[in-house]
Structures are given as C-alpha cells and as structure tokens.
Chain A
Amino acid sequence: MAEKIELNLISGRTIMQGVTMEGGKEKPAYRDACGIIELNPEDLKKLGIWHGTNVRVASQYGWVIVKAIKATQGPHPGLGWIPMGPWANRVIDPNTYSMGMPTFKGVPVTVEPAPEEKVLDSLAVLEEML
C-alpha cells in the first residue's frame, strides 16, 4: 500500500462543472463538482484510501487539496482527471512553449492521501496562495 503515486494529470469539462459554474462559482456545489480528482480503482487501492477521501495533488508547479473519487468515465490507467477550474489550475503546467497556450493536459503529478485537509471553495483556493 503506497502512500504516494505518480500519475499523468488531465483536466477538462464535465456537466456538473458547467452546471455548478453557472450556478455561481462561489457556492459549495462548484467546489464539490470541481475540487475533485477522478482516479482508477487500482490507484485508490495503491493510495490505501476510500472513494471520497481528500488527497494532495502536487506537480513541479504547485499543489492542491482535492477529493479523490472513483473515475466516472474510466478506467484510464495512468491518468488522473481534475475538472477544469482553479483547483486543477494550481498544478497544471503554465508553460506555453512560445505559442500562448498553457499546458492544461498532460502534467506529471504525485498524489498522496490528505484525509485531514479540507477542500477549499473556489475563492479560498486562490486566496490561500496569494
């Protein structure tokens, strides 16, 4: 039972990300929809955690606390998925490699259990690091 695993992180849209965004990003529903990472069942096992446990996701660019849940559109071995939003953007690769577009998909991350940590709402997850 490993305490830290390595994954390739991607981010993108989900229906609930869209709905809660339109409902007001400052509300808890948005945090519940986007402050998550979808992991394969084997990866949850490797981390030794249940679906719904908070984890610390870290890349060379930053870290963030999100809730680990079982992949809803999986399995996707080797991949972790965080819906687009300020949680994902704390860790994705900001480099544009001279063409303007940050690298929102495909950044190596580590994931480790952080059951005592809280997932912050969308305003606090920025304020924390400013």
Chain B
Amino acid sequence: MAEYIIKNGFVVDPTQGINCEKMDVAVKDGKIVNASDVKGAKVIDASGKLVMAGAVDVHSHCAGPKVNVGRNLRPEEKLNCYDPAKGVKRMEAGFSVPTAISSGYIFAKMGYGFAMEAAMPPLYARHTHEEMRDTPIIDEAALPVFGNNWFVMEYLKNNEVENTASYISWLLKMTKGYGIKCVNPGGSEAWGWGMNCLTIDDPVPFFDVTPKQIITGLIEANEYLRLPHSMHVHSNSLGEPGNYQITIDSLKCAEGIKADNDFGREQVLHHTHLQFHSYGGESYGSKNFESKSKEVMNYFNSTENLTFDIGQVTLDETTTMTADGPFEYHLSHMNNLKWVNKDVELETCAGVVPFIYNPNSFIGVAQWAIGLELALQCKDMTKCYLTSDAPNAGPLRRYPRVIKWLMSLKARDEILDACKYGESVRRQCYIGEFDRELTLYELAQMNREGAARMLGLSNMFGSLKPGMEGDVVVYPLNPESDLDDGEKIEHAFGNAEYFIKKGELIINDSEIISNGSKRTFWVNAGKELTPQVERDVSERFKKYYTVTRNNYEVKEHHYVPNEYMIEVNAA
C-alpha cells in the first residue's frame, strides 16, 4: 500500500488539542502513523490548506428501502442534478435523494469517511445492505429500528429487560445492524390502524405499552448489552408546534442511567434531529409558532449523559422520509404533494413526501433558525453533531452550507434579511440573540471527535492520532485568511482537494480517482436467545411473519462483502 505524507497543512484535531498548527500527517498501511515512520512516502502539499481527520456522519438516510422509494418516486429530481461518469467515477444523479453511488462520492468530497444509515427496517435489512455494498468509498453501518417492534413492546410491557436485550442481540445479528434506533415509539405501530402516540404516556393500541416505557426500556437494554452506540431516539410528535415538552420528557427517560461499555461512549441516549422537536406555539403561523431551543438546551446542558444532532433545515426543495408514518401522512395533507406509505409487519413503517422549505417563508426560516440555535447554545461541542437528517431537513450535499452558517454570523444575517418574514423570525425565535461563530476546532469536535466517540468508534475515526484509521482530508481553506469568507468556507468543505480513506488516495487534486474498498460495520452483541425469546421468535415466524425464520437472516458473504464486525463482551 502506498504511503502518504501530507505536508505543512493547518491541522485541526481536538483529540490531540491541535488547533490550526502547521504540521505533517502521515499514513501507512491504512493507518495514521508518526511522520517519522514513513520513508519515500508520496508527498501531498497541504501548504495554506486545512487538514482534518475524515469526518463521521451520525445520522443520514442514505441507503435502504425508503431512500430508494424516494429515488424512484422523484424522477424530476434528476432532471437538473446529474454528473456523467468520468474515469473510475460512475455516473451520478439526484439532488436530495442521490443514487447510492452518488452518495458515496458526495460524502467523499465533503471529507467523510464513515456514515450511519439512520433507520433500517429489519425485514428489509437485505436491501439496506445491498445499497451500502454499492455505495463506494465510505465505511457504513445501519441502525435497525426497535421502537415499534412487537417483540420489544411485549417484553417492555412486562419489564423484561433481559428478554428485550436477548431479542435485540439476535436481531442485530440477523440484520447485521449496528445499534438501537427508536422512531416515534409506539406511534408507528398505532399507525398500523391509522392512529398515533403523541405524548410519551399515550398507550399503544392493543400492546398497551407507553412510549416512555419503550424509550426507558430500550435505554436499559442498550446498557445491559454494553453496545458501542447508545439508544438513538426520534421522539414522538416530530414537527408539531408545542412539542418541546414531549421532547424534554423523552430526554428525561435517561435520568439516572449511566453508560456501560468498553468503547469510550459516555451518553446513554442520543436524540436525533433535535430541531424538529424544539417547537413552541400551537400553529405554524408567524404570530404563534415559537422556538423553544433555549428551554430544550437549558435541560440538555444540565445533563451529562445525552447527545444530540441538529437536523438542520437548509431551505431547499428536498424529500422527507422517516419511519414516523403518521407524521408523513399529515405532512402530505399540509402540502398536498405525493405521499408514499409503507407499513412493515411486526416491525415499523415508513413514509416519504417531497417538501419545500421556502427561504422566503416564516416557518421555513424559523425551522432553519432553531437548528442553528441548538448548536450555538451547546456548551460541549463534542455532544452536538452536524446533520440535516438528510434528506428530511435538507440534502446531504448541503452540509458545507450548514458549516458556513455555524461559522458566520454574516451568512446567517443574509438569510434573515432576505426573508420577507425575517423580523418575525427574529421575534419568535432566539436566533437574533446569538453572535457566536463556531471555530474550526469546535467544528471538528462536532463531526470528528464527538461523532466518533458517540458511536463507540473513537479508537478508529475522528482523530489523527497514530494508530487511527488512515482517513485524512485536505480542504482548500486557509484558516489564516479565508475564515471570514462564507462562500469560501462552503466551497471548501464540499470540495476536498485530497481525501485519503483507509490509507488509499480517493480524491486527488479535487478529482475522484478511486472507488475505494468500503466496509460495512455491524455489532455482534453475543447474547444467546433466552428460552422465552426463542419460543416467541419461533412461533411468530410460523404464524405472523410472511417469510420463514431461516430466510430472515442477512448472510454476510452475500451482502456484507467487506464486513467489519465489532464484538461486544458483556460485563
């Protein structure tokens, strides 16, 4: 394998306290090494440029059945957004729902080495893995959904943490999944009858368990299993005005629970796309709708065991897709656009609806403001991660624009000033009170150090310490002269000049020159099935599922050709 030495760049690495120091970074045999350990390495001149470890995306919808629904649903998305094949780079298409192939390239150009597919319906796991297999370059993993699972709900109703954990361990193996995702707990099962659970105390029809029991139980099961990642929740009433209290109630389920694992993870609950869950008021009107980011962050900042990602609205025409089926139904009624729904037996559901966040509307810019407010009020940036719940709040390719807004007050003011309702947004939201501009160091804490740690991957990603995976990116950005230019910031973070992934040069001189050799990560929690769970699984496949138990499992060699299995040794 080739050796590389990236010379003379401005390195930012919070894991080593390095903040824009000129230094060399070396890569050998797929890993970061001391600069002194390479001889005859190929030289990459990073003078005047920014050097960071490959970034880590903690939550995006980039692979799987509902993503593909979004692609096939929207031929119009490819009319103006496509790129022909060039050399080894294959053709690309799709603006907010890029093809799997294009997603790999978009991540690479933004300097991302790892992405977490946010929600995998277990019955469809094979599909998610086929797409991840075909997504070039980046390492990926996927989170199976558990919050509306019939087995989980029955066990948690009876407080059977051991059975819950046993089932989860089994399901992670069947689906080659990474951790525990919980979407609209209880509500998506209620949606099987056209109903929903709006607060954490609303019982699920028939199963008679509450979202609170589901959230708490899944957190406990996660710690029982000592998984690398924590429970990852999308709480009830997403997008509803006034939902912030439900969000805080959901976060409170984590109180008193300590993280138990050997991976360096500190949180027990990660709340995703917190922006959608921080609303006040009773309607979306400009005299009524309010930001409650302060209330949410006051609680968040007082805790030790939580993390969140923003879910930043990017003010684009995009495509919403989530396992919160009832939410998607209501969204399609609001905007009268095409609506896809898919209920999945015994497990979950999904919905897909196109959506336009209008930069000249009150509500679009208010949602935009709330996402930024959450980040700007966060005290410890290693607990807050940059996402757009891609593509729900905005397309994946917009991450650089979000970075620009976080780093430039001027860029934020431009959005507010260009909006007819800018003053209303300033009045109803807190955005006007913050002049904080994130530094490069804080940015790296968000999407390198903190993101890797939160996923239990801090021994591999998010850092340039020798021994780490050889994921290094050089951005065309000079920290000494370019940081007051928002356009330069946005351009640089979307167009890596050099990107090395796992020690292989992927982007050279801003061109993609390799499709890399991606790996799919999954977690083997190693728990045997308890007798109860064995009986239940056996019975339910015979009676209620429409596939046999033997055909349910995703077999590695077919679908996960470059598997990276993480084994958990329970305490």
Contact present between A and B (CB < 8 A): no
Chain B positions within 8 Å of A, measured between CB atoms, are none
